[in-house]
């Protein structure tokens, strides 16, 4: 019931049209009794009975009128069917469009934790296949149900006006048909829920394979991926067949009952005609309209199949529709403040589920300061910086920006004050310029070039076939890792935010290029607090302060020189890297 309420709610704007469609369905289907009635009159007046010959000559006008009316009603019904189908199509397509926009926005609004929980393939299935199934249900299944019920009811009412006894005999078949349909629905329902899940797995596997095709090729795992895909494909196909074949277990019973209508009509109807209680015309009306009882019964299987699919799909859509992000962005349109850029962690802890990733962190970063964060892989560096723009919220403690708890700041404003270059670089399939100006589409071409220069990207961009207008492939395909990083850095610099977070942004660039980038960062023309996650001492050496994380705890904090003097983790990394790269970084930080 809730599902139908949901559909009704989302039909807003097209409800009148949809109801018009339903009304036209009812009118069109009620008219199905007209032709059998006219036929009955033709038979009784002109073909059978004592006066038939006489009527043929005397009432020829009536005969022609009845025949023309039959043709006219057929045409009218066809026209009505056309107009009716249009109403269903237009209203369901409009609803599909609106719900798709709503779901897309809803997915966009979700926090990071939502994306951790939901697979891309599954979300894609919801946005495409599930939505189409719901539209199909609105335009076809509900229409079929209404039409079947109307034809059934119209036939029953008409039959009762002709002969109640024969009608009751025919209706004897209805209860067993409903029992069979109920048993079928009960058995097939879990199958369609399972089928929907398998489709989602198939889509997820396909999507992962396509987006990870480089890794697949690099490891020559095509065969393995093929097998994995095949397994999901077979799973889906088997479940599909299983669900479809269940219908075959019930179909013979339903078909037998449906045929039973004709048998009863022949036996009981024939007897009534011989007994003189039913005219030939009335018998022919029963005969012409008995499909109105049997066809809906035949349709039951298809309708139940589709209703189960519809229900499985709609439940999936409703999950997204009512998903509430833990971190809500209200998108207020007012003027946004520009922050000073002070950042404070006050006894901050963070857990992913049960696992503690950050443990009681406290430190302050002053406006304009450059702070490097270093630590072994998995130490919690990315998690730490993710708390500043509220990609996640701290489990304990407070993160403050300009002295305000980030949970109390307006999210748009907060994020509008932070420029981020993430560790996992994602470029859009757009021009290089489009990618650099992604955060500020108003940026002029000169400014775009300026930030590309700061990010040491200009030289390789101008060497590309169409320079800044070169389209980069999906996720930046066609560029080297270091090139992608530099475009992502230019994108983060170009928004000129007072807080800049760089997560391992120069890990794939050579040391000379890195030196150029560091100079650019030192000389940025706008005031900016910089947090730079890095593994290289060459990157961290010139920071105002370096924080060392180990298993989510802050174990060292100080300048390059202070940390070296401590002879702790940082010193060990320094020794290792200086020996390893053979390129000296002195204890005072100069190279
Ligand atoms: N979305 C997530 N869900 C659950 N656990 C996560 C998630 N993201 C990270 N983790 C876990 O949290 C811990 C810290 O991860 P994080 O990415 O912050 O480390 P890091 O120091 O940035 O590592 P690296 O230098 O390798 O990028 C790791 O153990 C990781 O497995």
Which atom of ligand 1 lies closest to the CA of 113? 1
Residue 560 · residue 589 · CB < 8 Å: yes
Distance of CA 367 from the midpoint of ligand 1 (Å): 27
* CATH class assigned to 91-321: mainly alpha
pLDDT of residue 591: 47
Cβ(380) – ligand 1 distance below 6 Å: yes
pLDDT of residue 140: 87
pLDDT of residue 205: 86
Q: What CATH number belongs to 424-496?
A: 3.40.50.300
pLDDT of residue 589: 53
Cβ(381) – ligand 1 distance below 6 Å: yes
Q: How many CB atoms lie within 10 A of CB 229?
A: 15
CA-wise closest residue to 502 among 412, 590, 425, 437: 425
Return phi, psi of residue 528, to 5°: -160, 130
Cβ(423) – ligand 1 distance below 6 Å: yes
Residue 141 · residue 306 · CB < 8 Å: yes
Residues 6+ apart with CB under 8 A from 191: 239, 242, 243, 246, 308
Residue 501 · residue 465 · CB < 8 Å: no
Nearest CA to ligand 1 atom 5: 352
Low-confidence ranges of the chain (pLDDT < 70): 330-333, 473-477, 579-591
Distance (Å, whole) CA 361 – CA 378: 16
Distance of CA 198 from the midpoint of ligand 1 (Å): 29
Query: In the structure encoding, which two tokens stand for residue 181, read together?
Result: 């349909």
Query: In the structure encoding, which two tokens stand for residue 299, read together?
Result: 């349709």
DSSP string of 227-288, one letter each residue = HHHHHHHHHHHHHHHHHHHHHHHHHHHHHHHHHHHHHHIIIIIHHHHHTTSS-HHHHHHHHH
Helix axes 291-321, 60-109, angle to 10 degrees: 20
Distance (Å, whole) CA 445 – CA 460: 17
Residue 515 · residue 456 · CB < 8 Å: no
Asked whether the whole model's pTM tops 0.90, one would answer no
| Model confidence pLDDT, tens digit, residues 236-245 | 899 888 888 8
Nearest CA to ligand 1 atom 7: 352
Cβ(378) – ligand 1 distance below 6 Å: yes
Distance of CA 352 from the midpoint of ligand 1 (Å): 9
CA torsion 69-75-79-84 (nearest 10°) is 70
The region, left, alpha or beta by phi > 0 then psi within -120 to 50, assigned to residue 552 is left
Distance of CA 377 from the midpoint of ligand 1 (Å): 8
Return phi, psi of residue 530, to 5°: -115, 130
Nearest CA to ligand 1 atom 3: 352
Which atom of ligand 1 lies closest to the CA of 383? 18
CA-wise closest residue to 91 among 33, 169, 7, 198: 7
Distance of CA 384 from the midpoint of ligand 1 (Å): 10
CA-wise closest residue to 140 among 94, 99, 97, 92: 92
In the chain, what are the domain boundaries? Answer: 91-321, 424-496
Cβ(386) – ligand 1 distance below 6 Å: no
pLDDT of residue 429: 83
Residue 418 · residue 499 · CB < 8 Å: yes
pLDDT of residue 129: 86
Cβ(295) – ligand 1 distance below 6 Å: no
Residues 6+ apart with CB under 8 A from 132: 96
Nearest CA to ligand 1 atom 9: 383
Cβ(143) – ligand 1 distance below 6 Å: no
| Model confidence pLDDT, tens digit, residues 451-474 | 999 988 898 898 888 888 888 866
Nearest CA to ligand 1 atom 17: 382
Q: How many CB atoms lie within 10 A of CB 210?
A: 10
Distance of CA 380 from the midpoint of ligand 1 (Å): 6
Cβ(13) – ligand 1 distance below 6 Å: no
Residue 210 · residue 124 · CB < 8 Å: no
Q: Do 91-321 and 424-496 agree at the fold level? A: no
Burial 461-493 (b: 16+ CB within 10 A, else e): beebeeebeeebeebbeebeebbbbbbbbbbbb
Distance (Å, whole) CA 394 – CA 344: 13
Distance of CA 379 from the midpoint of ligand 1 (Å): 7
**3-class secondary-structure state, position 194:** helix
């Amino acid at each position: 019931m809730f599902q139908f309420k949901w559909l009704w709610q989302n039909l807003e704007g097209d409800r009148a049209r949809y109801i018009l469609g339903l009304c036209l369905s009812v009118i069109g289907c009620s008219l199905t009794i007209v032709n059998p009635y006219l036929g009955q009159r033709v038979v009784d007046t002109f073909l059978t009975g004592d006066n038939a010959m006489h009527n043929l000559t005397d009432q020829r006008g009536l005969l022609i009128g009845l025949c023309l009316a039959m043709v006219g009603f057929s045409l009218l019904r066809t026209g009505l069917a056309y107009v009716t189908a249009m109403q269903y199509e237009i209203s369901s397509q409009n609803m599909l469009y609106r719900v798709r926009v709503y779901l897309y926005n809803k997915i966009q609004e979700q926090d990071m934790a939502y994306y951790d929980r939901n697979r891309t393939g599954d979300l894609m299935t919801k946005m495409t296949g599930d939505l189409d199934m719901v539209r199909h249900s609105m335009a076809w299944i509900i229409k079929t149900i209404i039409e079947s019920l109307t034809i059934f009811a119209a036939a029953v009412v008409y039959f009762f006006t002709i002969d109640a006894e024969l009608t009751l005999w025919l209706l004897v078949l209805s209860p067993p048909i409903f029992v069979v349909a109920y048993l079928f629905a009960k058995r097939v329902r879990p199958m369609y829920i399972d089928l929907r899940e398998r489709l989602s797995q198939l889509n997820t596997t396909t999507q992962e394979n396509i987006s990870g095709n480089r890794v697949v090729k690099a490891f020559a795992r095509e065969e393995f991926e093929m097998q994995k895909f095949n397994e999901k494909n077979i799973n889906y196909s088997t479940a599909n067949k299983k669900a479809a074949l269940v219908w075959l277990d019930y179909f013979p019973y339903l078909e037998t009952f449906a045929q039973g209508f004709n048998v009863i009509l022949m036996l009981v109807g024939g007897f009534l005609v011989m007994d003189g209680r039913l005219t030939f015309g009335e018998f022919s009306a029963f005969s012409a309209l008995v499909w109105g009882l049997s066809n809906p019964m035949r349709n039951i299987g298809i309708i139940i199949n589709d209703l189960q699919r519809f229900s499985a799909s709609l439940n999936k859509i409703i999950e997204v529709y009512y998903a509430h992000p833990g971190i809500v962005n209200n998108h207020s349109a007012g003027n946004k403040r520009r922050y000073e850029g002070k950042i404070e962690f006050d006894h901050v802890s963070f857990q992913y589920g049960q696992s503690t990733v950050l443990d009681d962190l406290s430190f302050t970063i002053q406006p304009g300061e450059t702070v490097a964060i270093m630590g072994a892989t998995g130490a919690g560096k990315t998690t730490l910086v993710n708390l500043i723009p509220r990609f996640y919220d701290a489990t304990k403690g407070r993160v403050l920006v300009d002295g305000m708890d980030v949970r109390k700041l307006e999210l748009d404003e907060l994020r509008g004050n932070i420029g981020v270059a993430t560790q996992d670089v994602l470029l859009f399939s757009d021009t290089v310029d489009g990618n650099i100006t992604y955060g500020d589409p108003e940026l002029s071409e000169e400014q775009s070039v300026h930030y590309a220069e700061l990010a040491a990207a200009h030289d390789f961009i101008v060497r590309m076939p169409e320079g800044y207008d070169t389209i980069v492939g999906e996720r930046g395909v066609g560029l080297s890792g270091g090139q992608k990083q530099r475009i992502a850095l230019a994108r983060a610099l170009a928004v000129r935010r007072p807080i800049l977070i760089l997560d391992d942004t120069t890990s794939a660039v050579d040391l000379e290029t890195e030196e150029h980038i560091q100079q650019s960062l030192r000389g940025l023309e706008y005031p900016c607090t910089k947090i730079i996650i890095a593994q290289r001492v060459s990157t961290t050496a010139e920071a105002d302060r370096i924080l060392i994380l180990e298993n989510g705890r802050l174990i060292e904090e100080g300048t390059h020189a202070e940390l070296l003097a401590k002879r702790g983790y940082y010193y060990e990394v320094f020794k290792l890297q200086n020996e390893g790269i053979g390129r000296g970084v002195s204890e005072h930080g100069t190279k």
